A = this chain, B = another copy of it.
Amino acid sequence: MTAIAAAGARVWRVGAQVDTDQLAPGHAMKHGIEVVARHCLESVRPDFAAGVRPGDVLVAGPDFGIGSSREQAASALVHLGLAAVVAPSFSGLYFRNAFNVGLLLLTCERAEEITEGERIDFDAAAGRIVRPGGELLPTQPIPGFLLDMVAAGGLLAQLQQRSSRRTTP
């Protein structure tokens, strides 16, 4: 289950063009997702993997998730319990993988105004982020079927839930 709205989510800031090798370092890729997650972003934010708490959000600059199509670059953040990634733009392949594994991405032109450590509210269905002072930042509306999929925990989780609903009364 992924929340598509949250209040008081703590912000971790990273810069522009965070790539899939920073998110899921090559040297950890032979291990399971627990190990990959432990090394997530170590080259840009060495304090991230150990310090992040479920429900926190990552706020980044443009072109988040460029690089390879490795799915672990999204599932590592799911494993760490991240509520969402907020950025002005995402790599297309990363955007696709992220929703498939249940990671919510919020496309927000003004993402970089958000600062490290602040606590934000977000509502993906309404298409907005609210900063501590009440300032509202619009996010790109996401179609309902994608929000349903991410809320279910991703594509596979959604298919499993649907099939179990069909077979149990």
The residue on B at minimum CB distance from A71 is B143
Residue A69 contacts which of B69, B92, B143 (CB distance < 8 angstroms)? B143
- Each complex incorporates copies of this chain amounting to 2
Interface residues in A29-58 (C-beta closer than 8 Å to B): none
Q: Which one of B68, B94, B95, B96 contacts A141 once the chains associate, using CB atoms below 8 Å?
A: B68
A122 at the interface (CB under 8 A from B): no
SS class, residues of chain A in contact with chain B: mixed
Alpha-carbon gap, A75 to B59, bound state (A) = 32
Q: How far is the CB of A157 from chain B (nearest CB, A)?
A: 18
**Which chain B residues lie closer than 8 Å to A91 at the CB level?**
89, 92, 107, 140
Contact A105 B92 (CB under 8 A): yes
Cβ proximity bits A94-118 to B, threshold 8 Å, 1 near / 0 not: 1110010000010100000000000
Kindly report which residue of chain B lies nearest to residue A105, judged by CB atoms. B92
State A69–B99 Cα separation when bound (angstroms).
Answer: 15
Q: Which of B66, B68, B95, B140 contacts A95 (CB 8 A)?
A: B95
CB distance from A70 to the nearest CB of B (A): 9
Q: Which residues of B contact A12 (CB under 8 A)?
A: none
Q: What's the least CB distance linking A10 to chain B, in Å?
A: 24
Binding site for B on A (CB under 8 A): 63, 66, 68-69, 89-96, 99, 105, 107, 140-143, 146
Having A90-B92, A93-B143, A96-B146, one finds 16 other A-B pairs with CB under 8 Å, namely A63-B89, A68-B141, A69-B141, A69-B143, A89-B91, A89-B92, A91-B107, A91-B140, A92-B92, A92-B105, A92-B107, A93-B95, A93-B142, A93-B146, A95-B96, A96-B99
